[in-house]
Each structure stands twice: as C-alpha cells, then as structure tokens.
Structure 1
Amino acid sequence: MKVLGEGMAIDDEITLKKLEVFLAFMQMSNLTRVSERLGLSAVSVHRALHSLEEGLRCPLFKREGRNLIPLKSAYAFAEHAQRAIAACEAGVAEVREMSGFNAPRLRIGSLYSLTLRCIPKVIIGLKLRKPTLDVNLTLGSNRELLNSLEEGRLDAIIIGLKEPPVSQDLVSVPLFNDLIYLAAHLGSPYADAAEIDLADMRDQPFVTLSEGFVTSDSFSRAFEISGYSPRIAMEVGDIFSLINLVSEGIGYGLLPGRIGAFSSRIQLLPLAKKYASHQQVTLMFSASRERDPNLLALAAECRLYGRQLAGKE
C-alpha cells in the first residue's frame, strides 16, 4: 500500500498503465481490439482489468459468458481515470517543456570561428528536419559556452576541444578535426617556408586570443614546446579582430585551419611536427536529454556534416 496523503491511499494494483487499459476497454468494449491498439495480449488486458478491480476492492464489470459488461461503478470510475490520465499527461508535457525536451525552441552555442560554414550548414539541415523549430544561436568562448550548458542556459554547444571529453554527464558527437597553423600576413618572410619552427620566431610579435578560447589553449601549449614565452603585441576577445591584426602585420598568430576561409589577407603555414596539434570540433549536450527529439535531430545533422566534410578530403 502506498500512502499519498493523509487519509488517502492508492493500492499498488492501481497503476496508470492499467487505467489506460481500462479506459481503452470502456471505449471499445472488446478485449481483442484493446489488445491490438495497446500492443498487449488479450490475456494481459483481461488480467489488468481484473487486478484493477482487486485494487479498488469493488467490481467494475459483470461477466456474461466471455463478455465483460461495465457496471455503474465502471462509468463513474472512468470519469476520474480520464482526469487522472489527462493531469499526468499535462504534467509530463509541462516538465518536459521546462527542461527543454522537444521544446519549440533550441538554444545552441558555438564558437565565432565556426560561423562561416559549419554552423550555417548544420542549422539549415536541422530546419529541414524540423521546420517549426526556432533556433537561437549564442557565440562565445569555450569557457563561456560550457558554463552556459552546465547552468541550463543553452541546450547544446558546438565547440573545439583539445581532447575527446570523458564526462558521463555529457553526450558528445565529433564533427571534424582541425589542425593548428601559423597565421601570417601576406608577404611575410615566412611565406615560402615548408613548415614553421616557432623556435626561429623568438623575436617576432604575436597576437593571441584571451583565456577561455580553445585556440588560446593551443597557443599556450605550442609555446611551452618552443621553450620560450612569445612577445605578445596584443590580446583580443574575438577571432575576427585577431585575423584583422594579423593581416595588417601587427603580429603572427596560431589559428585552426577553418580560419583560412574567413580572409584572403592572411596565410596559414604548417607548423613543424613537434608543434602539431588539433582541435576536435564536437557537439555536446546533457546526457539526461539524449532522447530529446530536437537534440537527436541536431546530432544527426552534425554527423551528416562530419561525413560530408570527410568525403571532400
């Protein structure tokens, strides 16, 4: 016996599933048709109705041969059962909406550097899959986007990672890997180099992103390997400013390969093998929402984009 409140008790035999079976039978008055609708055997339907009577401790039907004939008690109980099912369905819908499950709006976060090709293609594909879905896009650094995902301000993020995530609380869907290059202005002294050894650039100025961006982490790691601290001409908060400063010769930078499509005024040069690193562009969302239809559609579109990109290489 499960006590729900003072003076009120619901027997274990009375369940929402049995109420659904009961209401279906009250509507169709046929065990076979109810079993076909609910995907149950006729024996299971009959057992559910019988156990419901036991839980209520009063009859709902009279038996006439193989037929069950509803009593007045069955019609009275059906009204309450219908309200109980409706209230439960409304509660489930409200809680899912509060949690963003299959909501009419999907909040996606991403990096500025993914807005040229990746994000537009993914969103267009997502809208084709779910035409009525509204998509809100927020741009920021890795740190900002991860915090927003953790705090529930975003439903999903697409970011660059140095290493594959290991958190069991998050679902991750990799899209593609992106190598890190030296970014130089056109006509720089390094323009014809087959590869760049950062140790040879000790006296050169560099422009970098502020902390929190994955590209900033790549920059720091490369110069740890180089054995010296670079001369920082300027630190900026977005990748577009960095591209513009590099193109004007203010300094050199380290940028992922996807940046090459943003500007014809910079040149991306390969780094020597000892500095080689990459970013794994990855979709991430909460594991608690891995069955959300909106996020399943987004994940499918991200996988498709990754396969299409791999096919072009």
Structure 2
Amino acid sequence: MLNENITLKKLHIFLTFMKCRTMNKTAEMLNMSTVSIHRAIHSLETELQCPLFQQQGRLLSPLDSAKTLEIEAKILLKQLGRTISETQETAGIFSAHFKLGSIYSLTFNSIPALITSMKKQDKKLEIELTTSSNKYLFKKLTALELDVIVVSLDAPLLDPSLIFFPLFEDHLALAVPVNDPLASYSSIALADIKNCPFVMLSKGFATAQDVLRTFEKAQIKPNVVMEVNDIFSLISMVSTGLGYSLLPNRIARILNDKVKLIPLHEQDKIKQTITMVCLASRSKEPKILAFTKQCHLYAKSLRDAK
C-alpha cells in the first residue's frame, strides 16, 4: 500500500546521505540545514516503521534495512526518470524529431538557412517540414502537431499562450510579365492598374490577406480572374500574361526570367512581419530553444547585411 508521506524528496535526501555518510556533507551538497536532513531521515524511519541507522558515536551507521532501501530507491528513481523521458518523447518533447511549419514563400531562402543551421548544431536531429497557410499552421501548432511555425503577420497578436519572435519585415510588389509595358516602371501606384486582371492566392494564405488589405487601403476592388492554391502556380499564371499579382519581395530570387517585381508607391505599401511562433508552455524545450537561438542569429545576419 502506498504511503504518501514517503516522498521523492525524502528518498533523494536519504540517497545523498548514504553517499556522503555525514550530516554536514549531505547538507552542503543539497544546500540544506543539517536539521532538515535529520528530520527527513527520521521521517522515513517513522513511515517505514523500522530503523534504518544505528548511532555509533556522533555518526549514523546504516543497517541492512538502509542498504536495502538504498538499492530499491535507486531503481525506483531510475525507473521514474525513464518513465518521464519516454512520456515526454511520446508527446514530442525532448525527442530527436523536430516538427517545423512554414508558409510557402519562406521555403526558398529563410527556412533552408534555418534548417541548415539546426542540422549543423545537431546532426542527429530529424526535421519534418510542413508548408501551408497561416491559418492551417496555427491550427497545427495549437494542436501540438507542430513544434514551431514561421509565418507572416501584419500586426502583433495579443495571445499570452503564444510567444512571437520577429525575423524580418517585407513588403508586397507587383508581379508582371517581363515583356509587359509595366516591366519598365521603377515603381507603380495601384490606382494606375485598378481595372487590370489579377491572379490571387486563395483565402487563408497570409499573402492573400495582405493583398486584400493593400487593395482596401487604396480603396480599390481588384479584378480577380483566377485564384490558385500555391505560389508556384501563381507565378506561372502571371508569366503567361493571364493577370498581374502582388507578391512579397522575398521571393524575387526564385522568380523565373519571365516575371519581374515592380515596387509599389509608398502610399500603397503594407508591411509583413515574418515571425517565429511557438506555444509559451513549450518555449523552454531544448529543441525549441535551439531553433529560437538560430532565429536570433539569422535575424541578426539580415540586419548586419543591410
């Protein structure tokens, strides 16, 4: 029958005493008073209803009962530690498997750089990347199906259950075919193309939401001729001349030679903040701390490069 008065703390004190063999050394190692050490050992004897030590001068000499308790307590604490580790690993905590979520537009540069840095720090770490929309990624994060997500936010979210770390800021630009007359513009106002056909990402994507906000700010209703579910299809549609689109500057380096990005006039620009997000309750987990550190270093490298 379990005795709730025989606690793990008392067993820990007992095992430390068995190792040190004196009250003073045990108290020093545990940063406790000798009175507290003596009280814990005496309490164990009371709850076990048997003596563990006999007095020999000023020292306590362990009886066979104490030696038996020492062996069994070590086994118990070791098994408890294993149980905790296996439970945490099953839940994805402290495992060698890292589940990262990202929006599509970050997989061309930022995410590969962060993954490479993580792998350099821990070659045994297995990283699983999920790419999707902001909405889907937040859902997976709160369901504990992702450890960390990197998304685009137009404004800080006031949610104490989440921790946010901004990496860098970006803006949308007009994507046009390279042989289009607008390709020669150094910048453009949305008002100048308000009646032109546009290809859009489906709702739920961060960029799609920011495109709509950009048009709303300019008080323009876009002439949407097609919606697509990924940025690659969108680039392809623009290159064929089906319509223009608004895309983040961060994808400029992966555009084919058939599409060009034209900056918007200052009054039409809307800021995107690329942000790492994790659950506040999991922020101290080693692999999440390691990824947060890499995000800090990556953000610093971008600032230093300016």
TM over 0.5: yes
SS state at 2:287 partner: helix
Supply the distance in 2 between the matched residues of 1:103 and 1:47 (Cα, whole angstroms).
39
Q: Relative to structure 1, is the Cα distance of residues 40 and 144 closer, same or farther in structure 2, using a 3 angstrom cutoff? A: same
Aligned AA (1:291): K
Structure 2 counterpart of 1:267? 260
When structure 1 is superposed on structure 2, of 133-142 and 273-282 the one drifting more is 273-282
Supply the distance in 1 between the matched residues of 2:15 and 2:2 (Cα, whole angstroms).
23
What fraction of aligned residue pairs are identical, expressed as a percent?
Answer: 39
Q: Which residue among 66, 73, 77 is the counterpart of 1:81?
A: 73
1:10 aligns with 2:23: no
Structure 1 counterpart of 2:112? 120
Deviation string, structure 1 residues 223-251 (Cα, Å, up to 9, x no partner): 11232321112211111111122222221
Given that residues 256 and 278 in structure 1 are in contact (C-alpha distance below 8 angstroms), is that contact kept between their aligned partners in structure 2? no
Q: Which residue among 272, 276, 282 is the counterpart of 1:289?
A: 282
Deviation string, structure 1 residues 3-50 (Cα, Å, up to 9, x no partner): xxxx64322xx3212212212322443445545554556555444323
Aligned AA (1:308): S
Supply the distance in 2 between the matched residues of 1:265 and 1:37 (Cα, whole angstroms).
70
Aligned AA (2:131): L
Relative to the length of structure 2, the TM-score reads: 0.91
Aligned AA (1:9): N
Given that residues 207 and 246 in structure 1 are in contact (C-alpha distance below 8 angstroms), is that contact kept between their aligned partners in structure 2? yes
Structure 2 counterpart of 1:99? 91
1:299 aligns with 2:292: yes
CA positional deviation for 1:76: 2.9
Supply the distance in 2 between the matched residues of 1:117 and 1:80 (Cα, whole angstroms).
54
Given that residues 62 and 71 in structure 1 are in contact (C-alpha distance below 8 angstroms), is that contact kept between their aligned partners in structure 2? yes
Counting only pairs closer than 5 Å after superposition, residues 234-253 of structure 1 correspond to structure 2 as 234-253=226-245
Structure 2 counterpart of 1:168? 160
When structure 1 is superposed on structure 2, of 17-26 and 204-213 the one drifting more is 17-26
Q: Which residue among 122, 125, 129 is the counterpart of 1:133?
A: 125
Deviation string, structure 1 residues 194-228 (Cα, Å, up to 9, x no partner): 43221221221111100111000011111112323
Q: Relative to structure 1, is the Cα distance of residues 39 and 8 closer, same or farther in structure 2, using a 3 angstrom cutoff? A: closer
CA positional deviation for 1:164: 1.8
Structure 1 counterpart of 2:207? 215
CA positional deviation for 1:292: 0.5
Supply the distance in 1 between the matched residues of 2:31 and 2:263 (Cα, whole angstroms).
61
SS state at 1:152 partner: coil
Supply the distance in 2 between the matched residues of 1:40 and 1:103 (Cα, whole angstroms).
34
Counting only pairs closer than 5 Å after superposition, residues 143-158 of structure 1 correspond to structure 2 as 143-158=135-150
Structure 2 counterpart of 1:3? none
Cα-Cα RMSD: 2.1
Relative to the length of structure 1, the TM-score reads: 0.89
Supply the distance in 2 between the matched residues of 1:274 and 1:163 (Cα, whole angstroms).
18
CA positional deviation for 1:186: 1.2
Counting only pairs closer than 5 Å after superposition, residues 25-44 of structure 1 correspond to structure 2 as 25-35=17-27, 37-38=29-30, 40=32, 44=36
Given that residues 109 and 156 in structure 1 are in contact (C-alpha distance below 8 angstroms), is that contact kept between their aligned partners in structure 2? yes
